[in-house]
Structure 1
Amino acid sequence: MPKLTVITIVYNNVRDIERTMKSVLNQTYQNIEYIIIDGASSDGTLQVVQQYKDRISKIISEPDKGIYDAMNKGLALATGDYVLFMNSGDEIYDNHTVEDVFATAPGADIYYGETEMYNDKWENLGRRRHEAPDEFDWKSFKYGMNISHQAIYIRRSIITPYDLTYQYSADIDWIIKAAKKASNIVNVHRYVAKYLVGGMSKKKHRESLKERFKIFTKYYGLIPNIFNHMIIAGNLAWYFIKHRRTND
């Protein structure tokens, strides 16, 4: 039973934090280290977290320099064989998810699965537009981020800290770096996470897209990246046309 470190980042999210925590604490899988990094919340979030302190491995509450700085604090404290980020507002899919993930195949460097989207009222919006690919490697993001960071379990020995030069899309860079080092990547062929839409990358959409373009250019080259983005634009247009027909 490999040890999994689950890290939750939260700041002033008293509405959602308990729901996220329960999705971790109610797992049937026993070997979980749970770390919560709070950015010195002032809305009662920390008081909710403290109610579960006996079941949480580490709680840090202090100001940070942004979400990826907070995530790096969590990584620095992690002692598990694998790391999973499940930030406030999101959930591990169901109580058996972690157990099912590790039962899929032994000793993978990366496990990944599918994500279900939810709106602000916690209404199911269905699967992400970018479906998880049947097979995944470091080149798989060339047409967009098709695995969300809530849906990927990475062996701690192959990860590096988040690059803080990126404010909105450092998770893409982080996953690609890990995937380049991975020799065994396993698709668990199930939903593994529930994702609350509307995070920082959505609120700062244009800045996020610029960062993504820069990251993809770094790994895939400028000319291939421009070509790939033409395909992304075409796929996006077809997606909206198809769904408009469905709605009509």
Structure 2
Amino acid sequence: MKISVVTVAWNAEGTIGNTIESFLGQSHRDAELLIIDGASTDETLAIVKGYDDPRVRLISEPDEGLYDAMNKGLRLFSGDAVGFLNADDSYHDDGALAAIAEALRASDAVTGNLDFIADHASRRVVRRWRGRPFRPGAFRRGWMPAHPTFYIRRELAERTGLFDTGYRIAADYDYMLRALELDRGGASPRVAHLDRVLVDMLAGGTSTAGWSAYLRGNLESLKARRKWLGSGIVDAALFAKPLGKLGQYAVR
């Protein structure tokens, strides 16, 4: 099974090399890394071009923001399944993609665990995201997977469509909700949860950079549930979703 990994980058010279190397070090070789660059003005392009490997594909051109760039990846990926790896993140170990590929043989989607780290040199964990298996209706109850661990087969990606660029922070939440919860006249997607850390995510990204971003992300998530699940002005997930993350900060 060929896995497509989409990495969106813009002026990421400090981290993009680490991201590429974590991909190239994967034991699962049937994969591509599709780097969607937003016309970087630093050394990002030179660093990417320095990796002479046919599995690394580069598209560099101006875009309309993060989710517009991610949509380019959804239009261009060539694999049997697709997922996203941020330009400042990396795979936790060299077996991550192999575990994802194996799980996708019998599933439509895969989720896993994630560590937030302070930096890639020390890999000091500041927060641990430990997921739970999906059950239909889970988004109503405050469940969501860590997007960097979310991989889906091509057929499900085509049914789900593109990211909604009307969201500033929660388009990934809206995308995963549509992929797993919407009734398309057939059986619910088969979703596997891997109880292992798949990705090391650098703390301080768009969705975790302060309380204002956190609040906006939760309100945008509510907007998605109101649109697709018929939730009210306030629903249980508005409280359950943030409360469920409190335990992630109890790092041991």
Q: Corresponding residue for 1:220?
A: 229
Q: Corresponding residue for 2:205?
A: 199
| 8 Å contact kept, 1:20–1:90 | yes
Q: Corresponding residue for 2:21?
A: 22
Q: For each residue in 1:18-70, what CA deviation from the matched residue of structure 2 results, as whole angstroms up to 9, or x when unmatched?
A: 11111111111011021000111111111111111434442111111000000
- TM-score, normalising length: structure 2: 0.84
Q: For each residue in 1:173-229, what CA deviation from the matched residue of structure 2 results, as whole angstroms up to 9, or x when unmatched?
A: 111111136531111221111111211123333332321121122233333852332
| 8 Å contact kept, 2:131–2:195 | no
| 8 Å contact kept, 2:67–2:163 | yes
Q: For each residue in 1:154-175, what CA deviation from the matched residue of structure 2 results, as whole angstroms up to 9, or x when unmatched?
A: 1121121111111211001111
- Count of matched residue positions in the alignment of Structure 1 and Structure 2: 239
Q: Which secondary structure does the structure 2 equivalent of 1:54 belong to?
A: coil
Q: Which moved more, 1:145-154 or 1:43-52?
A: 145-154
Whichever residue aligns with residue 164 of structure 1, its letter is T
- Structure number with the higher helix fraction is 1
| 8 Å contact kept, 1:25–1:55 | no
Counterparts of 1:158 and 1:10 in 2: how far apart (Å)? Answer: 25
Whichever residue aligns with residue 42 of structure 2, its letter is D
- TM-score, normalising length: structure 1: 0.85
Gaps of 5+ in 2: none
Q: Corresponding residue for 1:74?
A: 73
| 8 Å contact kept, 1:162–1:171 | yes
Q: Corresponding residue for 1:98?
A: 97
| 8 Å contact kept, 2:89–2:201 | yes
Q: How far does residue 9 in structure 1 lie from its aligned partner after superposition?
A: 0.5
Q: Corresponding residue for 1:87?
A: 86
Cα gap change, 1:15/1:144 in structure 2, threshold over 3 Å: closer, same or farther? farther
Counterparts of 1:85 and 1:20 in 2: how far apart (Å)? Answer: 11
| 8 Å contact kept, 2:38–2:60 | yes
Q: Corresponding residue for 1:139?
A: 137
Q: Which secondary structure does the structure 1 equivalent of 2:79 belong to?
A: coil
Q: How far does residue 97 in structure 1 lie from its aligned partner after superposition?
A: 1.2
Q: Which secondary structure does the structure 2 equivalent of 1:222 belong to?
A: coil
Whichever residue aligns with residue 141 of structure 1, its letter is F
Gaps of 5+ in 1: none
Percent of paired sites with the same residue: 30
Q: Which secondary structure does the structure 1 equivalent of 2:201 belong to?
A: strand
Q: How does 1:33-52 map to 2 (within 5 A)?
A: 33-52=32-51
| 8 Å contact kept, 1:168–1:200 | yes
